[in-house]
Every structure is written in C-alpha cells, then in structure tokens.
C-alpha cells in the first residue's frame, strides 16, 4: 500500500471519473486521523471550481495553481486563452513548500494529459517529486483496461500507486460486481455515487468508511 506522507498525486484513468470527490474524501479521512492536509489542484479549466468544492466537502485548504476559462485539457485551454502554462518546477516547488503533513496534488483529466509548459504530465510531476499516486477509476465496462494501462504507465517510471473507484453505483450491475473482483492494483476503497450531495459533516464522517489507508 502507498504511504501518505508529503506529496501524493491524485490522478485518474480519464476525465470525469471522480478525482475531486476522491481527493476531498482522502483529505477528510486524513484530517480525521489528526493529519494536516493541503490540496493543490494543478490546473483548473472551465467554470467548475474544484478547489472550492474540496474545501467545502473536506474542510481542507485547497487552491489551483493555474486556471483557464475553456472546459478543455489544460494545454489546449491555455493556448486558446493566451494565458501562460504552468512550469513543472513551479508545481513541484508548491508541493515541497507546503507545511502540511500530506499534500494532495489533483491532476486534470487522465494521467498523461499535458498539464503545463513543455507538455509535462501528472506522471512527470510524480517522478519529479518521487511521490506515490492514487488512481481514480470507473466502476463499469472499460475500467479494467483503462486502470491497467494507467498503473502500467506509472510503474514504468517507478511510481507506486493504488486505486480508488470514484463513483460506486447504489445498484451495481453485473459488470460492476465482476469488475470489483478483477480491477488491477492495490485498492484503497470506493466512493459511493452521489457522495458530493451529502452534507459536508456527513461526508467527512463517512470518508473513513469508504477508504482504508492503512
């Protein structure tokens, strides 16, 4: 199992898999165990404010290092807006400068989406920092291949990783129940679908039931 000390990357097998809610649940669980946590969203695109949502749900301080108006991958969103791309060194320095026990670094999209200057990816940042990764995966069809590819891409660069299912359905079908048996990689747990609709206090209390970080 991965260690939650210092920086930890939160990435995903794709976009829309639940990275923000998983990041909030990780933060809430760790804070419930007496750890100080800071969350850094590497690049925010579109109208959503993932950092604010994480703070609302978990109570952890969160901020975005770069933000772009168009709901696109960060590299394309920066190009369209004319705003500067985030240098890899700046992202790494932000993580290393934190005084928190754990710094959760939430990516954008999947693992190999270009996030900043020179086309660096979330994997490049994990390698730069020598930190582990939490991979957020879907529950349904297609997740076995996507998760295996993401874990393989991390392992190829020496990055330890574990998996969280980002939105476990209230009424899982055959594919979901079988995938639960076959999903590759060490597993930290799953977040129920619709968890973000919970009252923040209920969300924070439930996080330890959803996740096992031991």
- pLDDT category of residue 1 using cuts at 50, 70 and 90: confident
Reply yes or no on whether 99 is catalytic: no
Instruction: Answer whether 70's CB lies under 8 Å from 46's CB.
Output: yes
- pLDDT category of residue 121 using cuts at 50, 70 and 90: very high
How many angstroms from the chain centroid is the CA of residue 42?
Answer: 10
The phi, psi pair for 182, rounded to 5°, reads -105, -10
The pLDDT of residue 194 is 97
Beta bridge partners of 40: 63, 105
Instruction: Answer whether 188's CB lies under 8 Å from 213's CB.
Output: yes
The predicted-structure confidence for 24-81, as pLDDT tens digits, reads as follows: 999 999 999 999 999 999 999 999 899 999 999 999 999 999 999 999 999 999 999 9
How many angstroms from the chain centroid is the CA of residue 154?
Answer: 14
Task: Tell whether 139 is covered by a domain.
Answer: yes
Task: Tell whether 182 is covered by a domain.
Answer: yes
Tokens encoding 76: 């394309």
Task: Tell whether 74 is covered by a domain.
Answer: yes
Q: Which one of the listed residues 29, 41, 138, 204 is annotated catalytic?
A: 41
CATH number at residue 43: 3.40.50.300
The predicted-structure confidence for 4-27, as pLDDT tens digits, reads as follows: 999 999 999 999 999 999 999 999
Provide the domain limits for residue 81: 6-209
The predicted-structure confidence for 158-179, as pLDDT tens digits, reads as follows: 999 999 999 999 999 999 999 9
Task: Tell whether 1 is covered by a domain.
Answer: no
Mean pLDDT of the chain: 97
Task: Tell whether 176 is covered by a domain.
Answer: yes
Task: Tell whether 214 is covered by a domain.
Answer: no
Find the helix or strand (DSSP H, E) in which 90 lies. helix 88-97
The phi, psi pair for 185, rounded to 5°, reads 90, 160
Instruction: Look at the pTM and tell me if it is higher than 0.75.
Output: yes
Average pLDDT over residues 126-137: 98
Alpha-carbon gap, residue 7 to 28, rounded angstroms: 16
Alpha-carbon gap, residue 109 to 14, rounded angstroms: 5
Alpha-carbon gap, residue 28 to 31, rounded angstroms: 5
Q: In the chain, how many domains are there?
A: 1
Task: Tell whether 154 is covered by a domain.
Answer: yes
The pLDDT of residue 214 is 80
């Amino acid at each position: 199992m991965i260690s939650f000390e210092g920086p930890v990357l939160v990435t995903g097998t794709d976009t829309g898999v639940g990275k923000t809610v998983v990041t909030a649940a990780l933060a809430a669980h760790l804070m419930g165990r007496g750890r100080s946590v800071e969350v850094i969203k590497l690049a925010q695109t579109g109208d959503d404010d993932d950092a604010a949502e994480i703070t609302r749900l978990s109570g952890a301080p969160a901020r975005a290092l770069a933000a772009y108006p168009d709901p696109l991958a960060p590299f394309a969103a920066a190009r369209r807006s004319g705003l500067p791309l985030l240098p890899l060194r700046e992202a790494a320095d932000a993580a290393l400068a934190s005084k928190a026990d754990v710094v959760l670094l939430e990516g954008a999209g999947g693992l190999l989406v270009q996030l900043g200057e020179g086309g660096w990816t979330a994997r490049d940042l994990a390698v730069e920092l020598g930190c582990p990764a939490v991979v957020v995966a879907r529950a349904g069809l297609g997740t076995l291949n996507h998760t295996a590819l993401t874990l393989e891409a991390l392992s190829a660069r020496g990055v330890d990783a574990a998996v969280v299912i980002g939105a476990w359905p209230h009424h899982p079908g055959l594919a979901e129940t079988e995938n639960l048996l076959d999903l590759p990689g060490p597993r930290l747990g799953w977040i129920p679908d619709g968890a973000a609709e919970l009252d923040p206090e209920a969300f924070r209390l439930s996080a330890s039931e959803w996740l096992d970080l031991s």
